[in-house]
Amino acid sequence: MAKFKTDITTSRNNDDIREIEVEIDFTPNALASVLYRQGGTHILCCVTKEARLPGWFPRDATKGWVHAEYSLLPGSTDSRFRRERRGAKGRTQEIERLIARSLRGSINLEELGPVALTVDCDVLNADGGTRCASITAANIALRLAVRRLIASGDCLPIDLRPTKEDRDGGWNPPKLSDMEAKNHENKVIPHDLSAISVGLVGGEVYLDLDYVLDSNADVDMNVVGTSDGNFVEIQGTGEESTFTYDELQSLIAMARNGLKQLAEMQEVVLNGIV
């Protein structure tokens, strides 16, 4: 089990991200799993390969699919969070959709090939920023899952994929060189995905809001972006307040700083992991 931990800081400045700790392969049964801690927010993220593509896909589909589910576990909040036994509702459903579309926005489904993956993000402990931490953790787990699918021959470049006749004839997947495997991985996921919260609290901009900051924020924003500096989604709300264009620019600039730090962290975490 590989572990990564950022430097411990006893106190945070406005532009500091909370301490991050990542454990790879926390659970053995998933294709890839990550226990991700960002301050007091702890996420268990698991990726599994489904037996088949969704039923609404065409039979001869050449591209894949990524689905995501999110849940707060009962002990994750200060009072017990009731299990949603009859399906996701309200906030949970909205966060699931955010995670799923963020992941699909950063992955090339044609290069992935006809593979369906489910990414489960379970919040073990909630202290603000659970949706953002889930997206960052999900990307780490998803890249690791894709790396392993390439190694097993389940995710191949388009020109190396078998025809139906090949499969019927006992086809064996080709073995890619390390360079070919890395190149294909970077075609499937060209740029890593991260998400960070920012907010306006008492007239000041803060990065990576914990629960106390979030509950006192006049403006709360979640920003999802890729490691090449592009955005996937921005969610911003004035909590009983308005905000100016200049404040919006300051919030986005702070978020970009946070996304850059998270991209650098992911590169370190995933380096050399198979």
Query: Structure tokens of 232?
Result: 């996937």
CA 17 to chain centre: 17
Query: What band does 241 get if pLDDT is binned at 50, 70 and 90?
Result: confident
- Give pLDDT, residue 164: 81
Q: Are strands 65-72 and 116-125 parallel, antiparallel or unpaired?
A: parallel
Q: How far from 7 is each of 4, 20, 198, 257, 273, CA to CA, in Å?
A: 10, 8, 21, 17, 21
Question: Quick one: 249 exposed, middle or buried, by C-beta within 10 A (0-12, 13-18, 19+)?
Answer: exposed
pLDDT digits (tens, 9 = 90+) for 44-91: 999 999 999 999 999 889 999 999 999 988 888 788 878 877 766 688
- Give pLDDT, residue 10: 57
CATH class of 3-191: alpha beta
Query: Dihedrals φ, ψ of 165, to 5°?
Result: -65, -40
